Amino acid sequence: MAVKQTAGTVLFKQGDESNAFYIVQSGKVRIVQNTNPDGSGGRELAVLKDGDFFGEMGVIEDSPRSATAICLEDSQLLVVKRSDFDNLMALNPGIAMKIMVTITRRYKPDPGMAVAPQPQQPVQAKPQREGTVIAINSITGGAGVTTLVCNMGYELQKVTNGRVCLVDGSTQFGDLPVFLDVIPKLTLFQLAEETDVTIDMLNKGYIHKTNFAVDFVAAPMKPEQADVITTDLLRVLINSLRTEYDFVVVDTYSLMQEPVLTILELADQIIYLMTPDIPAMKNCRLWMELVKQLEFPEEKIKVVINKYDPRGSVDVKAIEEKLATKAFAVLPYDYNSVVDCINKGVLLNVAKPKDPLAERIAELARKIVKPGEATAAATSTGGDSIWGSFRKRFGLGG
């Protein structure tokens, strides 16, 4: 229901019962906490304008208003009642996703956006080491995500002499054990049963050593085990690993679903891997539009072209023009070397460091750790309980 309100109208007060959520259509609304009884003073949390929404926290969590909302100007607002809110979310996964991402951001300790109260039970204290999380994703299956996760992970270790852990976020058909030639004992499937995930616990059987100076955490061994992996689990896992490792490199699968979005949201850097052909260009463009809608910071996204063969591929310049972005790296097509290594259970960059593909991957790793570029601020503290609430309320899976 759209309503017009004049400047100065108090829409709700801190402590009121939460019975609706609001979308600003025009005008401005001030969100303020701890005002005096007469409405003066207090701490301003945000000024919201057209397209912004507020009041969702109380509706989702069924808790009293955590702040007061006052119209700063004459404003037109869409008021969505609690009962309609459930339907809106259930029928519009796109809107639900956008709201989830916004709420996750609001839960971060950013004073400007701290509309939401602090989570009552932070799953994990602030990481001590704050290693860099790099997610590699592609919507085109077989683009070479796992090949890059393993070989770039190895190079990151070599270049920095730091500690690197790979995580198999390809939850149904994870290939890391095959590429790294290790049969895992414990995987994310068993981890989902644990009540309190800590780095100490991960060190007791979940983190596997390899012959290639990188460690890894394995996805479930069977596809039907994947649905026990919640976004909360991925969150706490990655945040725990970054306390001990300088780099956490995460393999992801080819769908923009909640687990993958969670990993991308947590990542300091995202490599989108594409092959140089028209369908992959189309997918990359759609992927970029989606992450833009979700307001992922542009600077954390890097497009890398893999399997480039000058004899048949779409020209790199043409790809860059069409996507309006520069390729961060171009990796050559090198089927014989790469498949030979996979079949022998060794990494290309270990067995054939002079191979042209291995050299380009090493270059890519060096480019990633360039001073000042490697460790963006952690994007991942807090937010755990809200994703959980969303999943339960709107049946969004995970």
Contacting positions for Mg ion (CB under 5 A): 145-146, 175
What residues from 142 to 181 belong to the interface with ligand ADP (CB under 6 A)?
Answer: 142-147, 175
Q: How far apart are CA 158 and CA 306, in angstroms?
A: 22
Each residue 109-138 as x (binds ligand ADP by CB under 6 A) or -, in order, gives -----------------------------x
Q: Which does 338 bind (CB under 5 to 8 A by kind): ligand ADP, Mg ion, none?
A: ligand ADP
- Classify the phi-psi angles of 397: left when phi > 0, otherwise alpha if psi is within -120 to 50, otherwise beta: left
What residues from 310 to 369 belong to the interface with ligand ADP (CB under 6 A)?
Answer: 331, 333-335, 338-339, 342, 357
Q: How far apart are CA 257 and CA 265, in angstroms?
A: 12
Residue 310 beta carbon to ligand ADP: minimum distance, rounded to whole angstroms: 13
Closest to 54 in 3D by CA, of 102, 7, 97, 95: 102
Instruction: Specify the DSSP element, H or E, that contains 83.
Output: helix 82-91
Residue 255 beta carbon to ligand ADP: minimum distance, rounded to whole angstroms: 12
Q: Could you tell me how many helices (H) and strands (E) the chain has, helices first?
A: 15, 16
Q: Which does 269 bind (CB under 5 to 8 A by kind): Mg ion, ligand ADP, none?
A: none
Select the span of 74-82, 102-110, 141-149, 296-304 touching ligand ADP (CB under 6 A). 141-149
Q: Which does 143 bind (CB under 5 to 8 A by kind): Mg ion, ligand ADP, none?
A: ligand ADP
CB nearer to ligand ADP: pick between 143 and 396: 143
Residue 326 beta carbon to ligand ADP: minimum distance, rounded to whole angstroms: 20
Closest to 242 in 3D by CA, of 278, 213, 268: 268
- Alpha-carbon radius of gyration of the chain: 23
CB nearer to ligand ADP: pick between 333 and 394: 333
CB nearer to Mg ion: pick between 149 and 305: 149
- β-pairing, 132-137 vs 269-274, is parallel
Classified as helix, coil or strand, 141 is: coil
Q: How far apart are CA 333 and CA 211, in angstroms?
A: 26
Tell me if 255 sits within 8 A of 171, measured CB to CB: no
Residue 331 beta carbon to ligand ADP: minimum distance, rounded to whole angstroms: 5
Residue 173 beta carbon to ligand ADP: minimum distance, rounded to whole angstroms: 9
Residue type, 305: I
CB nearer to ligand ADP: pick between 123 and 217: 217
Question: Could you give the C-alpha distances from 130 to 68, 90, 110, 263, 366, in angstroms and in order?
Answer: 35, 36, 17, 16, 19
Footprint of ligand ADP (CB under 6 A) = 138, 141-147, 175, 306-307, 331, 333-335, 338-339, 342, 357
